[in-house]
Structure 1
Amino acid sequence: MIEFEFLNEKIIEVGKKLLKWREEEFTISSKSSKHDLVTSLDLRVQEFLYNSLTQKFPEIGFLGEESGMNKKPETKGYWVIDPIDGTVNFSKMLPMFCISAAYVENDEPKYGIIYAPVMNQVIVAEENKGVFLNGEKITPNWAKVLDDAMISMGNIRGKTHKYFEALETKVMRLRLLGTAALQIAYVGTGHFDAFISVKGNSWDVAAGYIIVKEAGGIITDYYGNPTNIFNKKNLYSNPYIHEDLMKIINTIQI
């Protein structure tokens, strides 16, 4: 679709701009708490994408993390944008951050793109067309048993240790990269075998959602029920370990 081609073009364009902008001065401030950071470049990237996308496709709604645009549009189709997922990493000059964008129709992602500009990784998925990493279609090489699995998760302040206590002896490794969007996408590419979302927002998960789905992964809530991008606690998993992982998660007392 022309809409997806245009989205790709603009995500890559602004990602390259972002690498130049970060060499210049940028400011860091807090939102809901001193640990919930936003930079002036989060705002700049979102403004660029909002202007580009809404001018080209005014009939498509826009949902973005910043600038009060975080309410679900009433339009049938809408973009879901996280201008910088992994803002804390970005502010510390770590390479693990990305721009996450999806096209959603009737609350179901139809297309998603994750661009990690420092690592030069572009992960794309379109409904019924599979997953592509830097233009090459891939099939994830997932672990067949939980003991061999690499699991990633989000951070929930004061409670993350409970997940580690329950899981660290049951899996090969646990990883927290500080960017939900990229970690979910890595399930779809096979870098990870599952991602446990503990407080994910729609802009964190929408692109990764379709990437995992198109890879053949399973996405449910913690109890195995069908879910969507607006549920904060989802399990994005390879199909071989999903049930075993879900059982362990349900033993965790939060």
Structure 2
Amino acid sequence: MLPVARAAAALGRDIVRARAPLSVTAKGDRDMVTDVDLAVEDAVRAFLTRETPEIGILGEEHGHSGAADGSLWWALDPVDGTANLARGIPLCAVSLALVDGLRGVLAAIELPFLDVGYSAAEGRGAYAGDERIKVSEVADLPAAMISVGDFALGESAEAEAKNRVRLALLGSLGARAQRIRMIGTAAIDLAWVAQGRLDATVILSNQPWDTMAGVLLVREAGGVVLDRDGTDHTAGSAATIAMAPGLRAQLMESLGSCHAVA
């Protein structure tokens, strides 16, 4: 199945490379979709439906389709980092995972403008191209490069409460970590943790199409991925916190204190 996942992600990569966005449509408050997102999802869905008709698909733009009675399903983000793509910022990804129940078992992520693809299969390691990758050995926050996910959107009280936690987190980690980055795509956040370019990422949300491929990459590269409460991350988690193993205690302590303050 891994060659199928790689081919599907590569199909999406080629579409992103071949065409600039011509239209940007609002999906919600400060949330957007471009014609490229839709073209990639349509093409990858058609490919997966043809190659694996027995497996359902959950995509960001068109929801669920296909078989609904099996434990296996594809999680697809046609363009993770749409806001970056729409502005000409070359940090975006095509992200595809095969999920068994709530656990990712295959991953393929393509970075169209950085000319690299990542893949992983459960129990078989994580790769950037043909090179096996592993998480960093950093074990102290003052030496850690950490990325933080986007702020919650919307004008609701729930979004405001979520963003108070994010602001507290930025203050806490900004005072302790070596550097903080906000890249704008969960797939790259997670792939770079797996590759050791980042030492951790804190994404205080979880959409399966955004995270499931990257979560498997991090785990297969020797990293730890947890939910906000410290339990192992699954497709049903509330947050996605990935890190080198040596940072687990310090990072989760910082996160816990931020929730308490907010």
Scaled to the shorter chain, the TM-score interval is: over 0.9
| Partner in structure 1 of residue 174 of structure 2 | 168
| Partner in structure 1 of residue 225 of structure 2 | 219
Q: Is the 8 A contact 2:149 2:186 kept in 1?
A: yes
> Relative to 1, partners in 2 of residues 1:63 and 1:155: Cα closer, same or farther, differing over 3 Å?
same
Q: What SS does the aligned partner of 1:195 have? A: strand
Rounded Cα–Cα distance in structure 1 between residues aligned with 2:65 and 2:183: 24
Q: Is the 8 A contact 1:89 1:96 kept in 2?
A: yes
- The one-character-per-residue Cα deviations of 1:97-146 (angstroms, maximum 9, x if unpaired) are 00000111122111111100100111111111111112111233331211
Rounded Cα–Cα distance in structure 2 between residues aligned with 1:184 and 1:140: 10
| Partner in structure 2 of residue 30 of structure 1 | 26
TM-score (norm 2): 0.90
Aligned 1:1-254 pairs, distance under 5 A:
3-22=1-20, 26-33=22-29, 35-69=30-64, 73-157=68-152, 158-159=163-164, 160-252=166-258, 253-254=261-262
TM-score (norm 1): 0.93
Q: Quote the sequence identity (%).
A: 27
Uncovered stretches (5+) of structure 2, i.e. residues with no partner:
153-162
Q: Which has the higher helix share?
A: 2
Q: Which segment is superposed worse, 136-145 or 122-131?
A: 136-145
> Relative to 1, partners in 2 of residues 1:6 and 1:226: Cα closer, same or farther, differing over 3 Å?
closer
Structure with the bigger RCO (C-alpha within 8 Å, sep 6+) is 2
Rounded Cα–Cα distance in structure 2 between residues aligned with 1:89 and 1:186: 17
Uncovered stretches (5+) of structure 1, i.e. residues with no partner:
none
Rounded Cα–Cα distance in structure 2 between residues aligned with 1:68 and 1:126: 24
Q: Is the 8 A contact 1:154 1:196 kept in 2?
A: yes
Give the superposition deviation at 1:72.
10
Letter in 2 for 1:207: A
Q: Which segment is superposed worse, 102-111 or 133-142?
A: 133-142
Rounded Cα–Cα distance in structure 2 between residues aligned with 1:46 and 1:114: 14
> Relative to 1, partners in 2 of residues 1:74 and 1:153: Cα closer, same or farther, differing over 3 Å?
farther
Q: What SS does the aligned partner of 2:8 have? A: helix
